[in-house]
Amino acid sequence: MVKLHNEISEFYQYITPNSEDHKSRIETFKLFRKIIKSKWSSWEVKLFGSFPLKTHLPDSDIDLIVFKQTDLAEGKFNEYMTDALLTENKQLHYIQSILIETNFCDEINYVDARVPLIRCKCRKTQIRMDITYIKY
């Protein structure tokens, strides 16, 4: 019984996120967000999935969603209409091209699925990311 208890405790310690892991994931998020905001100031990036819920495993990726906040009251109607004509796929291709241009990722793949996304790994932190875009 003691051996089983010890194995369960060791497994729990292994899958419990540690502070270094947390810092790397937050750094990855901030680096990615900085790239997006430098190119498109009205776009936002949010975390979702297992990381913000603190249910991720040590080798889990982080899930990011990119969207454009529209503020028609500030006279950005023309910019909004231009972006509104672009599909989510085209927006993701723009994001992918910026990630390639900035050398942000070691690996980068566009996945044309029901919910299209970009899968990549941050060069600096080695954290994997799934990035999707929605019209907001």
Residue written as tokens 């454009």?
A: 68
Q: Vertex 23, ends 41 and 108: CA angle to 5°?
A: 60
> How many domains, in total, are found in the chain?
1
Closest CA to 83 of 74, 71, 98, 99: 71
Give the residue numbers spanning the domain of 29.
Answer: 21-134
- Asked if the structure places residue 13 within a domain, the reply is no
Per-residue model confidence as pLDDT tens digits over 25-47: 999 999 999 999 999 888 899 99
CATH code at position 35? 3.30.460.10
- Asked if the structure places residue 28 within a domain, the reply is yes
81 band by pLDDT with thresholds 50, 70 and 90: very low
Neighbours of 52 (CB within 10 A): 14
Segments of 72-135 assigned E as strands: 105-111, 117-122, 128-134
pTM above threshold 0.85? no
